[in-house]
Amino acid sequence: MSKLRFVMLAIMLATIAAASPLPAVVGVARADAPSAGDACAVLHATTRDVNGRMMWCNPTMTGNHSLVWQYGGPS
């Protein structure tokens, strides 16, 4: 019976994870370059904007301190 409960729990968690917005933010490739303020997932990751300027993934200084693309690099 414990194996059945484990399988049911795994299925429930997979369903919840697939339905939540988190997977849409983490690990999703974008076809277009990000803009300053767009959400990102990996702290201190780098990329270039549409004009070729370097951007870094850093936490916001206000609010919930979520990770966003910013100019200026890690501090």
What is the DSSP annotation of 21-75? SHHHHSS---SS---TT-B-SSTT-EEE-TTS-EEEEEE-SSTT--EEEESS---
Q: Is 13 within a domain? A: yes
- 0.75 cut: is pTM over it? no
- Structurally, how many domains does the chain consist of? 1
- Chain segment 37-47, per-residue pLDDT in tens: 899 999 999 99
Q: Is 23 within a domain? A: yes
pLDDT higher at 17 or 54: 54
Q: Is 34 within a domain? A: yes
Q: Is 24 within a domain? A: yes
Q: Is 57 within a domain? A: yes
Range of the domain at 35: 2-70
- Chain segment 7-24, per-residue pLDDT in tens: 888 888 777 766 665 544
Q: Is 75 within a domain? A: no
Q: Is 48 within a domain? A: yes
